[in-house]
Structure 1
């Protein structure tokens, strides 16, 4: 039995399932397997909240279209949640706790008996308070329960033809703001615009623009730093200053997840 069969069979005894689908490969594979087993009794839900970029939302819609699964959109603003906007080390916990509550409410309205997400084995090794929050809301992780690592997910997604099989991992826009610096709509908008500008000018796929007290620190994978020559950097500085940043630099150490998870003074 293949690992994909194991994943699909996980849904065998479920009547109606809701998948929390972002725009990444993990939840896409879960949605695919659920739809293969349950058809229209599997529903995908994407939270269209303020820390999700328009690019991620478009990708989530595209995934559902590829799979053929019904998609519902949850529309709310986590910026109204003071526990979230104060941006301490529990930001992800508060965000996922609120998401979990919205998902449970929606699941009850649609007579869903289980909600699942795209958490995989590799996620368990990181500092991820959000996973604990979802667990507290009864949300299950089929990829963990059927022993899927990130590499196995990508391999399986490629085999079945999901367009996101090689999509770089992403995280919410608030993760670009150091703990202790407040999350605001203004910061999120300029971060999103900046990352789009960097991608357009350099063709680099994995980009983080960290908002450090109003300064933009661009992170890309180390072997991509050479793309930022003097001319590109000049253009980026002009454009990013136009949308509100006061200075621009490229992090010479390269991209590393969770690099700014420290409490700012």
Structure 2
């Protein structure tokens, strides 16, 4: 964490503006940036920007705002409709690049208008080892990725979050809902909403990592393998709930939860 704080100190006077989802990665990033601003005696608070979009659960936005303010940052919510870009709506393989380009241009505009000139976001080293076309858009925008620059993995970040007493230390990752559909399957907001409701319900049952992937007409449920017995004990209840959400065929993926399995 000290290395991360030291990373930010030279940029405090530029004004630090970051994309802030409220997840564990961006929470550690924001905590470090706020500590750096305090250590440098800056009277310019860190600006945390949260995107309210069609592809991200709205409940996360409220949680992000509360957390940002508790850390001493200014917080701003920017509403963006990714589906206004017809290219994103078709769900191509480079959707993440197109979406990140849209989001980070909005971040730059918001920060510059408020007098901020150092921009960053929360990708970590693990993100560089899988298919993440959005990283190209981030670099093209001139936005920094301090967790990558400092060589931090997700495991490192969760440890820092726990040591710092952040409420997000054990929060499961919640990537955008686009990852629930195969590439080239056009987005349907009503379908994405049903998938989100199903995931929230399963988490409320006590499942930690949850993804509902939809391969029409099959709903494929990914959970941690250690939770398979718990799932089977409640499978009738789970099937009924999913069918009430208008999913016809319900399957449990025997490979278990895998981040990026659609790739």
TM-score normalised to structure 1 length: 0.91
Question: 1:246 deviation in Å?
Answer: 2.0
Contact kept? 2:208, 2:224, Cα under 8 Å: no
Contact kept? 1:220, 1:254, Cα under 8 Å: yes
Contact kept? 2:49, 2:77, Cα under 8 Å: yes
Q: Are positions 1:139 and 2:138 aligned together?
A: no
Contact kept? 2:45, 2:73, Cα under 8 Å: no
Contact kept? 1:220, 1:255, Cα under 8 Å: yes
CA distance in 2, matches of 1:235, 1:65: 39
Q: Are positions 1:95 and 2:94 aligned together?
A: no
Question: 1:94 deviation in Å?
Answer: 0.7
Match of residue 209 from structure 1:
212
Residue by residue over 1:148-190, the C-alpha shift from the partner in whole angstroms, topping out at 9 and shown as x without a partner, is 2222211111111111112222211110111111112112101
Superposition RMSD on alpha carbons, in Å? 1.5
Q: Are positions 1:121 and 2:125 aligned together?
A: yes
Match of residue 193 from structure 2:
189
Residue by residue over 1:126-169, the C-alpha shift from the partner in whole angstroms, topping out at 9 and shown as x without a partner, is 11001111111111011122222222211111111111112222
Match of residue 67 from structure 1:
71
Match of residue 13 from structure 1:
10
Q: How does 1:214-253 map to 2 (within 5 A)?
A: 214-229=217-232, 232-253=234-255
Question: 1:107 deviation in Å?
Answer: 1.3
Question: 1:57 deviation in Å?
Answer: 2.4
CA distance in 2, matches of 1:154, 1:89: 30
Report the 3-state secondary structure (helix = DSSP H, G, I; strand = E; otherwise coil) of the residue aligned with 1:12: helix
Match of residue 108 from structure 2:
104
Q: Are positions 1:42 and 2:46 aligned together?
A: yes
Contact kept? 2:17, 2:120, Cα under 8 Å: yes
Moved more, 114-123 or 234-243: 234-243
TM-score normalised to structure 2 length: 0.92
Match of residue 167 from structure 1:
171
Moved more, 144-153 or 156-165: 144-153
Report the 3-state secondary structure (helix = DSSP H, G, I; strand = E; otherwise coil) of the residue aligned with 2:53: coil
Report the 3-state secondary structure (helix = DSSP H, G, I; strand = E; otherwise coil) of the residue aligned with 2:9: coil
How many residues of Structure 1 are paired with residues of Structure 2 in the alignment? 256
Residue by residue over 1:58-79, the C-alpha shift from the partner in whole angstroms, topping out at 9 and shown as x without a partner, is 4323421431222100101112
Report the 3-state secondary structure (helix = DSSP H, G, I; strand = E; otherwise coil) of the residue aligned with 2:123: coil
Residue by residue over 1:183-203, the C-alpha shift from the partner in whole angstroms, topping out at 9 and shown as x without a partner, is 121121011111012222x31
CA distance in 1, matches of 2:224, 2:60: 20
66 and 41 in structure 1: CA distance in 2 versus 1, 3 angstrom threshold: closer
CA distance in 2, matches of 1:82, 1:240: 30
Moved more, 55-64 or 159-168: 55-64
Where does structure 1 lack aligned partners over 5 or more consecutive residues? none
Contact kept? 2:48, 2:75, Cα under 8 Å: yes
Report the 3-state secondary structure (helix = DSSP H, G, I; strand = E; otherwise coil) of the residue aligned with 2:10: coil
Contact kept? 1:197, 1:236, Cα under 8 Å: no
1:257 to 252, 256, 259: 259
